[in-house]
Amino acid sequence: MVQVAAQSTSNARSAPDTNEQRVPAPATSGKKIVIHSAGGYEKLKVEKFEVPAIGPNDVLVEVRAAGINFADTSIRLGLYASAKELVGWPITPGFEVAGVVTAKGNEVVDFEIGDRVMGLTLFGGYASHVVVPSKQLFRLPDALSFEQGAAIPAVFLTAWFALYELAHPRAGTTALVHSAAGGVGSSLVQVLKLRGVYVIGVVGSSHKVESVRALGADHVIDKSTQNLWAEAERLSPGGFDLVLDANGVETLKQSYDHLRPAGKLVVYGFHSMMSKGGGSGGANWFKLISGFLRTPRFSPLDMTNSSKSVLAFNLSYLYDRFDMLQEGMQDISAWLAAGKIVPPAVTSYPIERAGDAHRDIESGKTIGKLVLTM
C-alpha cells in the first residue's frame, strides 16, 4: 500500500516559506538533469521523466532544492569512480535534496505527507522528484529554508565522518583546514570548534577571509596574499595535530610534512587535479595525468617512524554503512536545533542553469554551498 497526498491542499501543513504552503499531490512525471556522456557544461540536459513507483519503505519527495558538490563536476567529466561503478551512463548527479513528502510506502512510520525533509541520495538528486528509502531522510527544521536544507547533509556528514569516525581530535589541539570557505571546509571549521579545537583556515581569495572568521576560525591564511606554509609555520611552529585536505597534489605532501608527531592527515578529495573553469571542454587529461604522477605515495615505514597517519574516505562508498551516516545526521540535526552550527552560505540557481553552477563551483571563487532550485 502507498499513502499519497490528497488533491486538495486544504490540510497542507504550514511552512516558514510563504511560497511553500501547499502540499502537492504526488506527481507521475517530472524533470531532472541527465548526463548521457562525459564532457563539458553542455552535457547537463534537462529532461522529462516518469516518477518511479515507491516501495513499502520508500518516500516520494517533491524536491524544492538540490545541493551541488564539487564531486558532481567529476561525475559530469566521467571521472568519479563510484558513479561509473554504481550507475554508469546516463546519470543524474546529486547527493542531497530538500523538499516535501508527497507519498510514502505503507511501512514508513517516521514521516507524514506534507512533512518538510532533507535527505541523502546516492546520485539522482538533480531532479524535481526523488524516491528514497525513509532512513535517508531527516526532518528539515522549521527555521531553515529548503535551499539551506539542501546545503546541509553531504558537507556536514563529510565533516562529521572525518572528525568523529576517523580523526577524533582532542580539545586544545590545532587543526589546519584547507578550502575553509567552501561547503565542507566551512562545516569542518564549525564542527572542529564544537570539539574545542584551535582552527586555522586556509582560503584562496581575500573576499573569503571574513566568512571563515565568522564561522569561528582562530586564524585565516589567505593564499592570494600570504605564503601558505610560511604563515602556517608561524602560527603553529610545532606542526599540526590535524590537517584536512581535499586539494590533492597541490598541498598533500606539505600537509603531511607539517604534521607533528601523532598528527593525522585526512584526505577527502583531489580538487587541484581539476582545471578551474575548464569544464566547457571536458577533462584536462594532461593535468589529470600530471597530477596523478605527482601525487605523494605515503610509506608505512615512514609513517611508523614519524608517528603520523594518513586517513581517507569517500562518502559515496559508505551507503551500506548507513548506521554511521544516520548517527552523523542525528548529531547534525541536534546541533542545528541547538544553534551550535549554522548552514553554509547558499547561492541558488534554477535547474536550467546547472551548467552555470558547475562553472562557478569549478572556478574556486564561490563561498559556502551552491544549490539548484526546481
State the pLDDT confidence band at 275, using cuts at 50, 70 and 90: low
User: What is the CATH number for 259?
Assistant: 3.40.50.720
Regarding whether 91 and 225 lie in a shared domain, the answer is no
User: Is residue 170 located within the same domain as residue 107?
Assistant: no
Residue 223 has pLDDT above 60, yes or no: yes
> Within this chain, do residues 14 and 39 fall inside the same structural domain, yes or no?
yes
pLDDT, position 27: 77
Range of the domain at 144: 2-152+343-373
pLDDT in tens, 247-257: 988 899 999 99
Instruction: Kindly state whether residue 337 falls inside one of the protein's structural domains.
Output: no
> What pLDDT does residue 284 have?
73
Q: Considering the domain boundaries, does residue 228 fall inside one?
A: yes
Closest by CA position to 155, among listed 131, 186, 114, 111: 186
* Domain tally, the chain: 2
- What pLDDT is attached to residue 368? 95
Q: Each residue of 100-130: pLDDT tens digit? A: 999 999 999 999 999 999 999 999 999 999 9
Are residue 303 and residue 160 in the same domain, yes or no? yes
Instruction: Please report, rounded to a whole number, the percentage of residues in the chain having pLDDT higher than 90.
Output: 80
Task: Please check whether residue 77 is in contact with residue 39, taking contact to mean a CB–CB distance below 8 angstroms.
Answer: yes
Arithmetic mean of pLDDT, 141-158: 96
Same domain, 142 and 166: no
238 in the same domain as 198: yes
Q: Give the pLDDT of residue 290.
A: 73
Which CATH number goes with the domain that contains 114? Answer: 3.90.180.10
Q: Single out the residue in 295, 315, 335 at which a domain terminates.
A: 315
Residues 21 and 116 occupy one common structural domain: yes
Packing angle of the helix pair 183-194, 153-160 (nearest 10 deg): 50
Instruction: Tell whether 98 and 158 lie within a shared domain.
Output: no
pLDDT at 286: 67
For residues 11 and 141, which has the higher predicted lDDT (pLDDT)? 141
Tell whether 299 is covered by a domain: yes
Confidence of residue 15 (pLDDT cuts 50, 70, 90): very low
For the cut 70, the answer to whether the pLDDT of residue 21 exceeds it is no
Name the amino acid, one letter, at 105. Answer: G
Q: How far apart are CA 80 and CA 76, in angstroms?
A: 8
Classify residue 292: in a domain, yes or no.
yes
Q: Is the same domain home to 80 and 15?
A: yes
**Pair 122, 172 in one domain:** no
Res. 19 pLDDT band, cuts 50 70 90: very low
What pTM, to 2 d.p., does this model score?
0.88
How far apart, in whole angstroms, are the C-alpha atoms of residue 374 and residue 367? 22
Condensed to tens digits (0 to 9), the pLDDT of residues 35-49 reads 999 999 999 999 999
Q: What is the pLDDT, as a whole number, of residue 279?
A: 53
Same domain, 191 and 146: no
3-state secondary structure of 151: coil
Lowest mean pLDDT among 7-11, 135-139, 216-220, 353-357: 7-11
